[in-house]
A and B are shown apart, each in its own frame.
Chain A
Amino acid sequence: MRWAAVIAIAVLLALPAVLGSYAITVFIFIFFYAFLGQAWNIIGGYAGQLSVGHAAFVGLGAYTSAMLSIHAGLTPWIGMLVGGVVSAALGALIGYLGFRFGLRGFYFVLLTVAFAEIFRIIALNTDWVGGAQGLYITFTGDPRQFQFQDNRVYYYVSLGLMLLATGVVAWIERHRFGAYLVAIREDENACEALGVDTFRYKMLAIVVSAFLTGIGGTFYAFYLFSLQPNSVFGIPLSVEIVIRPIVGGSGTILGPILGSFILSPLAELSRTYFSQGGWTGMHLIVYGALLIGVVLFLPQGAYPALRRLLLRVRG
């Protein structure tokens, strides 16, 4: 297993030498969404607290570092961490409200969606942060401004983010913290009865998750060069974040990565093959059908199925 990981990382590190700029862009988004999915995985997958408002953390992180860069000239390399901390603070607030008042299941989902919507509406109506028009970032290609003339640098940055989040998840899984989170997910009452401070561990999980997601916001801002409330705080982005770990297998280390490696290429392939002809929107139908197929046949996600297959092959 360890060797497989080393080889996979070595291959990913070497890939840009042979890939064209388009393929590199596809990989960048695979890594980036795997990173966001992995960050979500901590609270949503391991701790089983379904957040469908993770866009709030992306947006807050993105707006924070973009505002600091535009108005205070602060490099996004630092702004990124500030954005992470601000998002973590929001995570703590959402977590406190949700966990202190015992919101579980659908109620927690609603809480997270509501927060993302609140931030979307605030951003939409605050001139100071650009209102509905949003923020536009000047493309300079200056590495000090977290911008790169060469697309391959973005590749390594997004790969680094994915590996960072995966490292954090791997660490959590191997430690008592991870065991507590899984226990909370499986039976929170029993877990509490055994003396685990479930509130504390859920808080910790959402704060770490929000911090990482907030960092991702900076990448979003300085890779796509504009922020609009609807695109960074909107429900579609939250769904994009959640869907990869679910398809790949939530609550597993490789789930979000696998999900991203399945979904992003699927979307690309269906768009490449079905958008040139006169069939406007055909690619979305194909993508949707494939997605339904994945969910139908691999209800637990792709990773558990893959692992069963590997175990069977090994005997």
Chain B
Amino acid sequence: MSERNDPKTLHRRTFLRTAGAVAGTVALGFPAVLRAQAPTVKIGVIHGVTGPLAEPGQACRLGAQMAAEAINAAGGIKSLGGAKLELLLGDTQSKPDVARTEAERLINAGAQLLQGPFSSGDAAAMVPVVQQRRVPFLIDIAAADPITANVAKAVREGQQKVQYVYRNFPTGTMFGQLAVRYFNAIFEEAGVSPKRVVLMYANDLFGQSQSRGFQAAHKAAKPGWDIVEVIPWPEPPSDLSTEVSRAKAARPDIIAPITRPASAQLLLPELAKQRVDIMGVVGPGSPGLYEAGQIAVLKEHLEYVMDSVPWPNFKNPRTRAVADEYAKRSGGKTFDTNSGYSYDGMLVIADALERAKSTDPDVVVDAIKKTRFTGHLMVSAGPVVFNEIGDNPNASTALIQILGQKPVVVWPKEAAQQKAVFPRPKR
């Protein structure tokens, strides 16, 4: 196993493959020179592209593929003789057992690094595989804190020798902290001091962990506003009128919803219908509030709505070019959280390979640890770096607002495309 990635060792399979290729070229009468192609680095890209989380999974896959194509078009990994990235695609179906098998399958097919997945349970099932087989693994989305923290702990306590698992995405805890920070920043910038925030959330895995993270961060930060009421609903809901009247009764200044696309389509019109008088709707990390499809359906209901989500930095011209191409290739979808972070993930891998000048797993891991990458496309608090846990402390969300029926970044200031409109104009 230790020799698996050592180019100097001649393996039976390599030998057979080379011998076969040579025999083939000789038989076909081509000059053998044509066969001397640049080497490739195989990267297993594993996302749940079917099953309940297929949509984000497919966005992730396309993002990673486009990044690899861009890297290859720019000459591949130069320090490895212009090696091209060859992607081996895997599908977890959002099932942990399939995720584990897929990781094994792609490593078996020669994957020297792994990237993925969206769902945290899938990522956790892949961790032992990469630790057993010594394959560097970059998590591009899965946000549950313990995934990387547990590996770091096992290494610290001497149960594992090397950490092969790294993550370039804000962790669950960071999501809540960033949301509270952005709430404060926006209130301060507008010179207002709302007091009463009502948190409403879809009671599923995502909604529950987001709302918990937000509440925990609020408790720790003790800002000048209170979460006066917390209202969950079963997802998908058939009607949210009772939930909204409960929220209204709490006399909120801000509604902080964590929705899904279906519940957002009920919640926002209901807030308007019941004439809930608020300064604004600010999601502490909520899907359903910014997608092109949602804007088309909800129209003016989404205008001025804000949300704290990982978001591409459109001030960067390269981001805009990638987003245009992404829209073309995805049938008009927005380049956003998932596609963006998967795109960045592949860039981070290429950067590490470039510096490692080798595909030896331990050398690659050393290079990953020393990462200080500034070519990323997502809004972040600084270059991509990895801390002792294996997470990127600079990975961040952005506060976006729907202005003129388009999502634009309004915070942090460096990435802001426009100033936030807050409190929202009275209707």
User: Mostly helix, strand, loop or mixed at chain A's interface?
Assistant: helix
- The distance from the CB of A256 to the nearest CB of chain B, in whole angstroms, is 17
Interchain CB contact under 8 A, A141 and B160: yes
- Given known A-B contacts A139-B127, A141-B160, A150-B132, A132 and B101 have beta carbons under 8 A apart: no
| Per-residue A-contact encoding for B174-206, CB less than 8 Å = 1, 0 else | 000000000000000000000000000001111
0/1 interface trace, chain B 149-166, chain A, CB 8 Å (1 if under): 011011001011000000
How many Å from the CB of A210 to the closest CB on chain B? 21
- Report if A26-B58 is in contact (Cβ < 8 Å); known contacts: A133-B205, A139-B160, A149-B132: no
Contact yes or no, A21 B107, CB < 8 A: yes
Tell whether B260 is near chain A: CB-to-CB under 8 Å.
Answer: no
- A286 within 8 A of partner (CB): no
Q: What's the least CB distance linking B129 to chain A, in Å?
A: 8
Size category of the binding interface on chain A? 35 or more
Is A231 a contact partner of B96 (Cβ separation < 8 A)?
Answer: yes
Q: Are A22 and B96 in contact (CB under 8 A)?
A: no
Q: Contacting chain B: which of A77-85, A110-118, A267-275?
A: A267-275
A275 touches B212 (CB 8 A): no
Q: Are B96 and A124 in contact (CB under 8 A)?
A: no
Out of B124, B160, B172, B209, name the residue touching A225 (CB < 8 Å): B124
Across the interface, B49 reaches (CB within 8 A) one of A125, A139, A140, A281, namely A281
Q: Which residues of A contact B278 (CB under 8 A)?
A: none
Contact A226 B120, beta carbon cutoff 8 Å: yes
**Residues of B with C-beta under 8 A to A272:** 105
Contact residue among B93, B98, B146 (Cβ-Cβ distance under 8 Å from A136): B146
Interface string of A240-276 (1 = CB under 8 A from B): 0000000000000000000000000000100110011
Q: How far is the CB of B49 from chain A (nearest CB, A)?
A: 5
Is the C-beta of B412 less than 8 angstroms from some C-beta in chain A?
Answer: no
Given A20-B108, A21-B107, A21-B108, A134:B160 Cβ within 8 A: no
A138 touches B49 (CB 8 A): no
B100 within 8 A of A: yes
**Interface residues in B119-135 (C-beta closer than 8 Å to A):** 120-121, 124-125, 127-128, 131-133
Q: Which residues of A are found within 8 Å of B96, using beta-carbon distances?
A: 224, 226, 231
Count the B residues whose beta carbon is within 8 Å of the partner chain — how many?
48
Q: Is A131 an interface residue (CB 8 A)?
A: yes
Contact indicator A132/B209 (Cβ below 8 Å): yes
Q: Counting CB contacts under 8 A, is B18 at the interface?
A: no
Q: How far is the CB of A153 from chain B (nearest CB, A)?
A: 11
Q: Is A198 an interface residue (CB 8 A)?
A: no
A140 touches B160 (CB 8 A): yes
Q: Is the CB of B209 within 8 A of A138?
A: no
Q: Is the Cβ of A225 less than 8 Å from the Cβ of B133?
A: no
A150: shortest Cβ distance to chain B, in Å? 7
| A21 to B133 alpha-carbon distance, docked (Å) | 9
Contact of A141 among B93, B105, B131, B209 (CB under 8 A): B131
Q: Which residues of B contact A150 (CB under 8 A)?
A: 132
A151 at the interface (CB under 8 A from B): yes
- In the complex the two chains form, is A133's CB within 8 Å of B172's CB? yes
Q: Are A275 and B91 in contact (CB under 8 A)?
A: yes
CB under 8 Å from chain B, chain A span 88-132: 124-125, 127, 131-132
The CA of A264 and the CA of B205, in the complex, are separated in Å by: 28
In the bound complex, how far is the Cα of B132 from the Cα of A224, in angstroms?
13
Asked whether, in the complex, the Cβ of B90 is within 8 Å of the Cβ of A275, the reply is: yes
Alpha-carbon gap, A142 to B58, bound state (A): 36
B-side contacts of A136, CB under 8 Å: 124, 144, 146-147, 150
A224 pairs with B125, CB closer than 8 A:
yes
Does A230 interact with chain B (Cβ within 8 Å)? yes
Query: A47 vs B88: C-alpha distance in the bound complex, in angstroms?
Result: 46
Contact between chains at A141 and B54 (CB < 8 Å): no
**B95 neighbours in A (Cβ, 8 Å):** 231, 236
Whether the Cβ atoms of A225 and B128 lie closer than 8 Å is yes
With A132-B205, A226-B121 as given contacts, are A268 and B101 in contact (CB-CB < 8 Å)?
Answer: yes
Question: Which of A29, A132, A226 neighbours the largest number of chain B CB atoms within 10 Å of its CB?
Answer: A226
- Partner of B97 from A142, A151, A224 at Cβ < 8 Å: A224
A213 interface residue per 8 A CB criterion? no
Residues of chain A within 8 A of B50, CB atoms compared: 280-281, 283-284
Tell me if B298 counts as interface (CB < 8 A to partner A).
no
Q: How far is the CB of A243 from chain B (nearest CB, A)?
A: 14
Known: A25-B100, A132-B204, A141-B131. 5 other contacts (CB 8 A): A25-B105, A133-B209, A140-B154, A281-B49, A283-B50
Chain B positions near chain A (C-beta within 8 angstroms): 49-50, 54, 58, 88-91, 93, 95-98, 100-102, 104-105, 107-108, 120-121, 124-125, 127-128, 131-133, 144, 146-147, 150-151, 153-154, 157, 159-160, 172, 203-209, 212
Show 27 residue pairs from A and B whose CB-CB distance is below 8 angstroms, ordered by the A residue.
A20-B108, A25-B100, A25-B104, A124-B208, A127-B212, A133-B144, A133-B209, A139-B127, A139-B128, A139-B131, A139-B154, A140-B157, A147-B128, A149-B132, A151-B104, A224-B124, A225-B128, A226-B96, A228-B205, A231-B96, A231-B121, A268-B101, A268-B105, A271-B98, A271-B102, A275-B89, A275-B90
